[in-house]
Structure 1
Amino acid sequence: MKKNRWLFLISALGALVGVAAAIIYAQQKPPLPPVFQPAANPYRSGIYANGIVESEQDSGANVNVYPEVAGTVLRIAVQEGQTVKRGDVLLAIDDSVQRALAAQQSAQADAAEAQLAQLLAQPRKETLEVAKAQADAAAASLKTVEDQYDKLRKSREFDSRSVSQDAMDNAANAVHVARSGLVVASRQLALTRAGAWTFDIRNQEKQRDALRKAADAADALLRKYVVRAPMDGVVLSVNSAVGAYVSPQGTYNTYTQGSQPVAVLSSQQDWLGVRVYVDEILVHRLKPGRGMQARMFVRGTDTSIALEFVRVQPYLTPKIQLSDQRAERVDVRVLPVIFRFRPPAQPPIYPGQLVDVYLGGTP
């Protein structure tokens, strides 16, 4: 009897525990409030579109900076988020080979300039004096052989047997040779006095100009090894590092396995732009203009911002621009519409951020 009583008590206790558990678990707890409210269409005939935040530009989007030469990065002069002025150094590339080539080209141009100055300075005083001395020597030689010939001729006239015909002929030939030498020396003196030939001067001027332009081109290319900011703005990203190889195609990204710019710049961020992509099947419902309404919703927050219409980029492009993939399974084309807004203090909004946008459209 006592054993049965304990079994009865345990069974009753288990029944009470089961009823209590059923009552407790049957109660429904109220759901937690959402962290943020989903974007809702604020317009009667609004059009939904994806948007991407970018810097405000008169045309185009963020400025992608690519070097014009290839080489190894020696120095990076800026940090992400830094404000830069147009012409500020962003990074420097190894220019040792190009620097030596530029020095060689400059030396060749200087040599050509010196040769031209030499031609323009002719006749040289010392060269002219040598030519004068040679002409005087030729005249003196002519005078000597003429005197010798006259002596022989007078002696032969006095006594025909005193001088042989062979001696007379040799003396006459000597006079002829000396007279020709004087003509040559006189013409050489005139040529020396005339200075450099005008065609030689023109040829040397052309060579000088060609080498100077080659040196200027080498210097201009040398300056390309320092990549400078093309505009006043903010450095959004630096995609290279010291020791990395860069080229006019940019720098290789091991994560995306593709090329990307060495740096990305935006304008001063008093204003930010929003590039909104409207599906081609909804384009006919748009009424672009200053009165066009649009509201942006920041994902993950309850923040919504009214947008100011800027312009329409009148060219439908593949939606691939949003996904940045190499291929799309469906060829969906979108119309880019550009808006702008003043960024709020909170939450922070950055270029490259995806947002939801509703545009006021016609039914």
Structure 2
Amino acid sequence: MNKNVKIPIIFLVLLTIGSTLIYFGSRNDAVTVAKSIKSGVLTADEINVAFQNVGGKVLTRAVQESQYVKKGDVLMVLEDTDTRLAIERLKAVIAGQEASIRQEELAIKIAENETNLAEEATWRNIEAVQANLDAAISARDFTQTEYERHIQLRKAGGVSQSQLDSTRNTYISAKMSVVQLQSQLSTLMVGATSEQLAQFAKTKNATGMTLQSIINARQTIQNRHNQLTQLHAQLSQSQAELEQLQINYQRLTLVAPEDGKVLKLMYEDGELVPTGAPAVLLETDRKYVDIYVNESMVNDYQPGTTVTANVVALDKQIKGKVRFATVAPSFADLRMTRERGQADLTSFQVRIYMDNIPHLLTGMTIEVNDAKHH
């Protein structure tokens, strides 16, 4: 046979045999393996533990890398000098504010008692002035009568001019007394209504009469109540600031939020930690594995479904629970342009959280067999 014909024929035969073996043989590509065994690498949730709203110099590192910690264990402590002094200063401010409030409350109580007493005294004083006014009016009327009689007697020569002058002076003095008492009474009754004045004219009893001086005094007391409210508000603000400082003081001690293994400590003793910066990387006990299934199998892996898997390194069975099943990224889809010309198949990512068993470490291979799935 011609050599130029023989070589292409040999290559064609070999290509045909190879293609047949590939088509019917077992392949270890990801798509083929995923049809029989769903496997993945065990992964653990990691959390960055940070000092919340506080920062400062590292005073103590209570743990080391790879150390297993329990929830609440101390991880790192910051220097507390500044925060402790701020707390002491604020406590002193609060003590002063509380003393000011007690002083103002006592002063208001005294002012209220004095105002009530002044009101009662003013009512009685009005009644006394009214009585004096009545007496003064009577005395004025009497001296007026005497003065008019002396005028007639003087005309008749019955009294001397000096006696007439004396009587006139007494009359004028009595009139002035009436005017003074009327003015004093009007001043005392400023603020009273016309109904109250009419009632007082009948009864001569001033109890219950509205007095402008008492109104002014009570308005002053009300203003002091407003000042007292402001003092209470300032005290509440200081107490809230103290509570925040005390919380920040507690936050200077960083504790583990849950059980896990310390992967990394970000700061050494004496280093400054910025506010809110992560300080410890913690690997939690929440371990999971992600597997990929096609759309015809995804209904078997609904959230909450319990599955059984094999830990290859430990050769042990382990149970897990499906957390979610969601559409996988496009790179995991099987396209018809790939081998065998299959139709497009969308892959779904299934996350399974596994039960914790001794010696189970992240990075181990977990196989979820369809036969073990229930």
Tell me the TM-score normalised to structure 2 length: 0.52
For 1:234 and 1:181, locate their aligned partners in 2 and report how far apart those are by CA, in whole Å.
85
Which residue number in structure 1 is paired with residue 198 of structure 2?
A: none
1:174 deviates by 0.6
Equivalent of 1:174 in 180, 194, 197: 180
Which residue number in structure 1 is paired with residue 56 of structure 2?
A: 72
Gaps of 5+ in 2: 1-31, 149-163, 191-205, 331-346
For 1:225 and 1:43, locate their aligned partners in 2 and report how far apart those are by CA, in whole Å.
53
For 2:306 and 2:363, locate their aligned partners in 1 and report how far apart those are by CA, in whole Å.
24
1:120 deviates by 7.1
SS at match of 1:314: strand
Which residue number in structure 1 is paired with residue 291 of structure 2?
A: 278
| TM alignment of 1:111-150, pairs within 5 A | 113-114=101-102, 117-118=105-106, 121-122=109-110
SS at match of 2:364: strand
Look up the equivalent residue of 1:239 and give its one-letter code: M
Which residue number in structure 2 is paired with residue 233 of structure 1?
A: 259
Equivalent of 1:49 in 35, 40, 46: 40
For 1:308 and 1:42, locate their aligned partners in 2 and report how far apart those are by CA, in whole Å.
21
SS at match of 1:68: coil
Which residue number in structure 2 is paired with residue 217 of structure 1?
A: 240
SS at match of 1:158: helix
1:79 deviates by 1.6
SS at match of 1:341: coil
Name the % identity: 12
For 1:340 and 1:73, locate their aligned partners in 2 and report how far apart those are by CA, in whole Å.
39
Asked if residue 308 in structure 1 is aligned to residue 319 in structure 2, the reply is yes
For 2:75 and 2:129, locate their aligned partners in 1 and report how far apart those are by CA, in whole Å.
75
For 1:235 and 1:138, locate their aligned partners in 2 and report how far apart those are by CA, in whole Å.
88
Gaps of 5+ in 1: 1-40, 55-60, 252-260, 320-331
1:46 deviates by 1.0
SS at match of 1:293: strand
1:231 deviates by 4.6
CA, structure 1 residues 213+86, in 2 after alignment: closer, same or farther (shift >3 Å)?
Answer: farther
Which residue number in structure 2 is paired with residue 163 of structure 1?
A: 168
CA, structure 1 residues 145+291, in 2 after alignment: closer, same or farther (shift >3 Å)?
Answer: closer
**Contact 1:92 1:225 (8 Å CA) reproduced:** no
For 1:225 and 1:333, locate their aligned partners in 2 and report how far apart those are by CA, in whole Å.
47
Equivalent of 1:354 in 348, 363, 370: 363
**Contact 1:71 1:247 (8 Å CA) reproduced:** yes
CA RMSD of aligned residues (A): 5.2
Which residue number in structure 1 is paired with residue 358 of structure 2?
A: 343
**Contact 2:55 2:78 (8 Å CA) reproduced:** no
Which residue number in structure 2 is paired with residue 247 of structure 1?
A: 275
SS at match of 1:48: strand
Higher share of residues assigned helix: 2
Tell me the TM-score normalised to structure 1 length: 0.53
For 1:317 and 1:229, locate their aligned partners in 2 and report how far apart those are by CA, in whole Å.
36
Asked if residue 91 in structure 1 is aligned to residue 106 in structure 2, the reply is no
For 1:283 and 1:105, locate their aligned partners in 2 and report how far apart those are by CA, in whole Å.
68
Look up the equivalent residue of 1:45 and give its one-letter code: S
**Contact 2:58 2:76 (8 Å CA) reproduced:** no
For 2:75 and 2:48, locate their aligned partners in 1 and report how far apart those are by CA, in whole Å.
15
Query: What CA deviation, in whole Å up to 9, does each residue of 1:280-329 have, x standing for no partner?
Result: x657556447663323345xxxx44433212323345779xxxxxxxxxx
For 1:62 and 1:108, locate their aligned partners in 2 and report how far apart those are by CA, in whole Å.
48
For 1:307 and 1:234, locate their aligned partners in 2 and report how far apart those are by CA, in whole Å.
20
Query: How many residues in Structure 1 have an aligned counterpart in Structure 2?
Result: 276
For 1:315 and 1:100, locate their aligned partners in 2 and report how far apart those are by CA, in whole Å.
55
For 1:309 and 1:79, locate their aligned partners in 2 and report how far apart those are by CA, in whole Å.
31
SS at match of 2:244: helix
SS at match of 1:276: strand
